[in-house]
Structure 1
């Protein structure tokens, strides 16, 4: 039986990338909804026969519903799927949308932007989590200004950033969110930096690209099994 994921993508340069490749290799079919192109976000996964939900990252704030009208329906779907016990994975902006949808608080990180490779800092709960166990200290790509400032009621913090902000949350029986980008290859990361510097990368940006490129194989080794474990939740 084919397993199907509904994927909400917010921007053309923020695709499922590595995660999409790994899930395709595991026999999972991805149906991508592009809210930025006017695709409607469904109110329930069952309406399209989907077995799970993935919400990707984007540059907009999680509270910017007026400028990005699909964000409200995305938050509603995240809440519905989480409360129904369906498999959910929310990444970066998705992590923030899910926290808001369930009663948390998000906003600019008082510690400033997080960009580049940051190790996963698992909590004791994270070390036994079915999705994140074994990832303590693994490299993770970050590219974010906003964070979850207060997790929603009932959420479990599975990992923390060096400044103590949540790096990963367990939101429900089969719902997770991560501030990092397990999907992001060095090529996608480079595109993000270039979009901010159309005149060319400065030395600091070039160093960040080199950092992510150097971590390429370690990133794949850490996050491919993570992708497989999430796919197993769709059974």
Structure 2
């Protein structure tokens, strides 16, 4: 199943920051809801549009770069501008891991290096009161597993942001901004095979920080059936929001 198209009209704009961090399972479920994806491979020099005109949603993926490192990732200022445009214009937005950090930073929050070291592997999440009734994350069960792979995290939410999910070792696992924007710290788009690729790339650094890459991969592999079920449903719920907003604009 293809998860991308080069056409822009009535498609979700997807910002991909590096080769091994594509839309994955989230993309597959969005396509399943009838959406098309316009994937920009920013690390390859593909240009982001000046505006979201013609796009029905904005999906900002993860990556290893710091969300403020415009020298290493010169496309970040444009991503921040698109995030602000999405929130101001009520265009459905979803930021994943680095993408979620970009959302927080672009809207006035802040991101910091985790002093306790990286959070990796499958981690159980807890619902916060505002999750009840949320159109995207409202059905996530208490204790749902989430695949994690991050050295940085949001340490201050933007003004007006609503926290939805938390964890024992990372307070802001998911939050909502504006009427149609969501950000998550974890990786709903990946399974164990992708995490294994990251473990191969980051294993030495992870061990130096006291982590166990093999155990992280094993935990995601064990949880993968539930990961696919929970976050596949969340992906389709966000897709439903995208289609509803697109329909309202046409009407």
TM-score scaled to structure 2, two decimals? 0.87
Report the Cα offset of residue 171 of structure 1. Answer: 0.8
Q: SS of 1:217's equivalent?
A: helix
Which of 11, 18, 22 is the aligned partner of 2:18? 11
1:113 aligns with 2:118: yes
1:41 is matched with 48
Report the count of equivalent residues. 230
> Are 1:118 and 1:142, in contact at CA under 8 Å, matched by a contact in 2?
yes
- The within-5 A match list for 1:87-166 is 87-135=92-140, 136-163=142-169, 165-166=171-172
1:69 is matched with 74
TM-score scaled to structure 1, two decimals? 0.93
Q: SS of 1:140's equivalent?
A: strand
**Unmatched runs of 5 consecutive residues or more in structure 2:** 1-8, 244-251
> Are 1:82 and 1:174, in contact at CA under 8 Å, matched by a contact in 2?
yes
Counterparts of 1:52 and 1:74 in 2: how far apart (Å)?
13
**Unmatched runs of 5 consecutive residues or more in structure 1:** none
For residues 104-159 of structure 1, what are the alpha-carbon distances to aligned partners after superposition, in whole Å with 9 as ceiling and x for unaligned? Answer: 01111233211011112111001321111121211100100100110001111111
1:212 is matched with 220
- The within-5 A match list for 1:158-177 is 158-163=164-169, 165-177=171-183
RMSD: 1.8
